[in-house]
């Protein structure tokens, strides 16, 4: 039985600039990612990885092409609808953590719950859900700490808790270990693999073929085009 | 996002830069406080003047003398004379009373006290009704007593107290300068009206004042000339008719054509009208000052909000990436701008109200804090916040998430 498709794109194209300055950052990329899959995206600098991630993460819209997220066509949605999709369906993990400064770990994790218009939750319920998410990433004892009081690895854990808190169908990670030393990086990868083992669908950009090799598939981009897709021979766990 | 949460975020942002927020609010604070203080001063002045006018009694017509300087002796030529008043009383229909006044200053002695520099007010018998003064005890002098230059006196309330203490002054003698007068009445307390203390005065027939106490050089060359005749009209409806009659009568008596009259006739309405025009001019000047300072305050808010949006571009990007919609972001910054202007407005109200009070007690001028000025000033502050906060808030809302996230 084929697993449900979470990501399904058809000839995604992203054009920047006009005339001589015209750059096709993405040029007809068609990929699909199934539920429960852990996929790595690799490619040289400027090959369009971040551009693809932005579109898949609903942070921007492609110039042309189609994108189905969880069987919903999101390529034609407006800003407000995209914001709702980002809030409910996608958890985004950035290389530079992107936590709100001078805001406690708990409040950072509560943030997506505050922008959730579809679920009514009391303040206490939100704190409970956020506390649980922070517990899952092993930061139960750091909830009242602000980002500047946390190590890079801990900050990235807070960011992961924030990405998880609305139970998204897709987790996007753009070089999540890029700013970390190898030990913290390994811990973050371990955490992502744990999430994957619990059924999460993850798409991750990485420059390390070692890290990519631990995922199920690696999608290689070159000059905005799909270069090759390599199966790493791991089974999706369900 | 709930409005309480939006409020908390905005409030936290304001508290984070306390000094900057305060400086930003300064324009609004000054604008709001200025409105309240200025309106309080103008309302106080207006109230004082209204009281003054009302205390003169209603339906008054003022006939004013316009002298021309005479020849060698310097004696003035033309103008009103004492007999003109009597002629108006007799020859004009619809007149309730006619009063002529002449003031002087003298030493007043009773059996128990000597008071220097008491102001004497000589008038005619209609004075109490025309000037709205009530007799507490005894009576005022009548027309006959004025004609016969009877040496009778009526005391202001506080003067009676000072001259006679607890004993009854009616029927007692007082010596004014070197002239003996009999006290025949006491006025009720009137209090200060404008800057005139009616209670400390001594009232007597104008003929007596002209005869005995008009000692100054000026008074002597004036002879029986009077500066001002008060005419009370018995019905407001008759006002124009009475004025016309007075003008015709006096022109005839003075043997002058109306265009060259040596007097002018004005009504209380004219005075109130002038007063209202002055107040209106002051008010509109005030509105301009307030408007300009509020706009300057608004521009200050806009400026700081634009800085704030730039500083927090990354924060905006983060919020967008986890699901904040453009309107979430717009509300967040609009709330911050509104809060700045409202807190500024509130401080402005406090500063304005206490400023009006302090100004009043330091300068001795009367100030009346007007509630509607507080509401107006505060409301304008809110409006300014919303108006000038909208552009920065909208700019924040329109930011592209990716570019915002890339911002350092
Ligand atoms: N906003 C933009 N305007 C113009 N060109 C852009 C813009 N964003 C990206 N590009 C161009 O699109 C191409 C792909 O950029 P992208 O950021 O997706 O590469 P990348 O694979 O993420 O590279 P890196 O590994 O360095 O992060 C590059 O040539 C880049 O210059
Ligand atoms: Mg990139």
Residue A93 C-alpha, separation from nearest chain B C-alpha, in angstroms: 10
Q: Compute the distance from residue A173 Cα to the ligand 2 centre, in Å.
A: 11
pLDDT band at A2 (very low <50, low <70, confident <90, very high): low
Residue A51 Cβ < 6 Å to ligand 1: yes
Instruction: Check if A16 has its Cβ closer than 6 Å to any atom of ligand 1.
Output: yes
pLDDT of residue B353: 95
Q: Which residues of A touch B328 (CB under 8 A)?
A: 83, 115
Q: How much is the pLDDT for B218? A: 54
Strands (E), B189-302: 192-193, 196-197, 202-205, 228-233, 263-267
Question: In sequence order, what are the residues at sequence separation of 6 or more whose Cβ sits closer than 8 angstroms to the Cβ of residue A38?
Answer: A192, A193, A196, A201, A202, A204, A215, A216, A234, A236
- Listed range (A15-29, B11-25, B51-65, B299-313) with the worst mean pLDDT: B51-65
pLDDT digits (tens, 9 = 90+) for A15-38: 998 888 899 999 999 999 999 999
CA B370 to chain centre: 13
For domain A5-231, which CATH number applies: 3.40.50.300, 3.40.190.10, 3.10.20.30, 3.40.50.10470? Answer: 3.40.50.300
A-chain CB neighbours of B318 within 8 Å are 98-100
**Opening angle at CA A39, ends A95 and A209, nearest 5:** 70
Q: What is the mean pLDDT of chain B?
A: 86
CB B402 to CB A99 under 8 A?
no
Check pLDDT > 90 for residue B282.
Answer: no
With an 8 Å Cβ cutoff, are B322 and A100 in contact?
no
Cβ within 8 Å, pair A115-B324: yes
Split at pLDDT 50, 70, 90, the class of B76 is low
State both tokens at B229: 């005749």
Helix (H, G, I), strand (E, B) or coil at B6: helix
Encode pLDDT of B96-146 as tens digits.
888 888 778 889 999 888 999 898 888 888 888 887 788 999 999 998 998
Strand partners, B122: B102, B204
The string of DSSP letters for B324-383 reads --HHHHHHHHHHHHHHHHHHHHHHHHHHHHHHHHHHHHHH-------HHHHHHHHHHHHH
* ipTM reported for the complex, 2 dp: 0.95
Alpha-carbon span B271 to B370, nearest angstrom: 24
Asked if residue B316 has pLDDT above 70, the reply is yes
**Which residue owns the Cα nearest ligand 1 atom 29?**
A46
* For residue A146, pLDDT beyond 60: yes
A109: nearest Cα among A127, A82, A88, A123: A127
The CA–CA distances, whole Å, from B362 to B46, B72, B354, B355 equal 19, 50, 12, 10
- Residues A191-225: tens digit of each pLDDT: 999 999 999 999 999 999 999 999 999 999 999 99
Mean pLDDT of B208-216: 76
Computed from CA positions of residues A134, A135, A139, A140, in that sequence, does the dihedral angle turn out positive or negative?
positive
Q: Give the C-alpha separation, B389 to B329, whole Å.
A: 13
Atom of ligand 1 nearest to the CA of A221: 21
Please, are residues B62 and B232 in contact by the beta-carbon 8 Å criterion? no
Cβ atoms of B305 and B25 within 8 Å: the answer is: no
| Residues A84, A116: Cα–Cα separation, whole Å | 8
pTM for the model: 0.73
| Burial of residue A109 (number of CB atoms within 10 Å: 0-12, 13-18, 19+) | buried
Q: What's the rounded Cα separation, in Å, for the pair B80 and A37?
A: 112
Question: Is residue A163 over pLDDT 50?
Answer: yes
Residue among B318, B323, B401 whose CB faces A84 most closely: B323
Comparing C-alpha atoms, which of B403, B396, B407, B398 is closest to residue B335?
Answer: B396
> d(Cα B269, Cα B56) in Å, to the nearest integer?
12
What residues of A are in contact with residue B320 (Cβ under 8 Å)? Answer: 59, 83, 86
Q: How confident is the model at residue A237 (pLDDT cuts 50, 70, 90)?
A: very low
For ligand 1, atom 18, name the residue with the nearest CA.
Answer: A48
d(CA A165, CA A160): 9
Residues of chain A with pLDDT > 70: what percent? 97
Q: Closest ligand to A16 CA?
A: 1
* CB proximity list for B392: less than 8 A, separation 6 or greater: B302, B305, B306, B308, B309, B333, B337
B241-262 average pLDDT score: 87
Between residues B321 and B270, the one the model is more confident about: B321
Distance from C-alpha of A37 to C-alpha of B372, rounded to nearest angstrom: 67
CB spacing of B321 vs A88 below 8 angstroms: no
Question: pLDDT tens, A47-76?
Answer: 999 999 999 999 999 999 999 999 999 988
Average pLDDT value over all residues in chain A: 93
- In this structure, the dihedral spanned by the alpha carbons of residues B11, B12, B17 and B20, taken in order and rounded to 10 degrees, is -10
B211: left (phi over 0), alpha (psi -120 to 50) or beta: alpha
- Please check whether residue A160 is in contact with residue A191, taking contact to mean a CB–CB distance below 8 angstroms: yes
Token pair in block for residue B196: 């005139």
Q: Are B143 and B124 in contact (CB under 8 A)?
A: yes
Dist. CA A47 → ligand 2 center (Å): 9
> Which pLDDT value is given to residue B212?
82
For chain A, domain boundaries: 5-231
Residues of B with CB under 8 A from a CB of A: 1-2, 5, 16, 314-315, 317-328, 400-402, 405
| Contacts (Cβ under 8 Å, ≥6 apart) of B167 | B112
CA B31 to mean position of chain CA atoms: 23
Centre of ligand 2 to C-alpha A175, Å, is 8
- Identify which of B113, B339, B1, B307 has the alpha carbon closest to the alpha carbon of residue A110: B1
| Confidence (pLDDT) at A238 | 41
Residue B90 to residue B83: CA distance in whole angstroms: 11
- Quote the pLDDT of residue B228: 81
Q: Ligand 1: which atom is nearest the Cα of residue A14?
A: 12
Query: Residue B115 carries which DSSP code?
Result: E
Q: Where are the domains of chain B?
A: 3-52+274-406, 67-261
Closest CA to B388 of B88, B11, B24: B24
- At A133, list the tokens: 């998410």
What pLDDT digit, counting tens, does each position of A79-110 carry?
999 999 999 999 999 999 999 998 999 999 99
Which of A80, A100, A111 is nearest residue B326 as measured by Cβ atoms? A80
Instruction: Indicate which residue's Cα is closest to atom 5 of ligand 1.
Output: A16
d(CA A151, CA A39): 27
């Amino acid at each position: 039985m084929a697993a449900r498709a979470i990501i399904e794109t058809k000839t995604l194209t992203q054009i920047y600039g006009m005339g001589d300055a015209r750059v096709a950052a993405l040029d007809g990329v068609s990929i699909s990612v199934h539920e429960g899959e852990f996929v790595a995206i690799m490619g040289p600098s400027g090959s369009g990885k971040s551009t693809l991630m932005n579109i898949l993460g609903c942070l921007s819209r492609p110039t042309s092409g189609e994108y189905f997220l969880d069987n919903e066509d999101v390529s034609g949605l407006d800003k407000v609808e995209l914001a709702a999709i980002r809030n409910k369906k996608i958890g985004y993990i950035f290389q530079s953590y992107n936590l709100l400064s001078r805001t406690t770990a708990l409040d950072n994790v509560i943030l997506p719950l505050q922008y959730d218009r579809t679920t009514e939750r009391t303040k206490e319920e939100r704190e409970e859900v956020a506390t649980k998410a922070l517990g899952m990433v092993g930061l139960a004892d750091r909830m009242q700490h602000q980002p500047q009081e946390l190590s890079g690895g801990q900050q990235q854990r807070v960011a992961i808790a924030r990405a998880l808190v609305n139970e998204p169908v897709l987790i996007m990670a753009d070089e999540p270990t890029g700013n970390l030393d190898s030990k913290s990086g390994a811990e973050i990868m371990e955490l992502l693999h744990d999430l994957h083992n619990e059924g999460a669908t993850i798409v991750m950009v990485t420059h390390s073929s070692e890290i990519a090799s631990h995922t199920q598939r690696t999608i290689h981009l070159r000059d905005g085009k799909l270069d090759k897709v390599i199966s790493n021979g791991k089974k999706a766990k369900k | 996002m709930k409005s309480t949460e939006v409020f908390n975020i905005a409030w936290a942002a304001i508290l984070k830069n306390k000094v900057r927020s305060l400086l930003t609010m300064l324009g609004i604070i000054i604008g709001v406080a200025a409105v309240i203080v200025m309106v309080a001063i103008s309302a106080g002045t207006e109230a004082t003047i209204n009281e003054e006018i009302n205390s003169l009694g209603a339906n008054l017509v003022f006939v004013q003398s316009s002298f021309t300087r005479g020849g060698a002796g310097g004696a003035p030529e033309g103008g009103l004379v004492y007999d003109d008043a009597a002629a108006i009383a007799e020859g004009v229909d619809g007149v309730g009373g006619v009063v002529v006044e002449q003031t002087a200053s003298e030493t007043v002695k009773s059996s128990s006290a000597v008071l220097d520099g008491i102001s004497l007010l000589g008038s005619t018998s209609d004075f109490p009704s025309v000037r709205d003064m009530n007799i507490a005890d005894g009576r005022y002098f009548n027309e006959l007593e004025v004609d016969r230059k009877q040496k009778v006196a009526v005391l202001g309330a506080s003067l009676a107290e000072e001259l006679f203490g607890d004993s009854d002054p009616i029927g007692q003698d007082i010596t004014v300068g070197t002239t003996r007068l009999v006290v025949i009445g006491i006025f009720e307390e009137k209090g200060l009206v404008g800057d005139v203390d009616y209670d400390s005065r001594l009232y007597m027939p104008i003929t007596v004042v002209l005869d005995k106490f008009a000692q100054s050089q000026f008074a002597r060359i004036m002879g029986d000339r009077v500066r001002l005749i008060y005419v009370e009209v018995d019905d407001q409806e008759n006002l124009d008719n009475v004025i016309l009659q007075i003008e015709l009568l006096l022109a005839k008596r003075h043997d002058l054509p109306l265009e060259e009259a040596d007097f002018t006739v004005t009504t209380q309405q004219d005075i109130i009208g002038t007063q209202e025009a002055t107040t209106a001019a002051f008010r509109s000047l005030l509105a301009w000052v307030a408007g300009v300072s509020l706009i300057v305050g608004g521009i200050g808010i806009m400026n700081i909000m634009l800085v704030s949006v730039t500083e927090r571009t990354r924060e905006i990007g983060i919020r967008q990436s986890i699901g904040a919609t453009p309107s979430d972001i717009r509300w967040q910054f609009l709330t911050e701008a509104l809060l700045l202007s409202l807190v500024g407005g509130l401080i402005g109200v406090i500063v304005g109200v206490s400023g009006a009070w302090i100004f009043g007690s330091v300068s001795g001028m009367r100030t009346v804090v007007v509630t509607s000025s507080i509401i107006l000033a505060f409301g304008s502050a809110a409006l300014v916040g919303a108006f000038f906060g909208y552009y920065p808030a909208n700019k924040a809302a329109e930011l592209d998430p990716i570019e915002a996230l890339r911002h350092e």
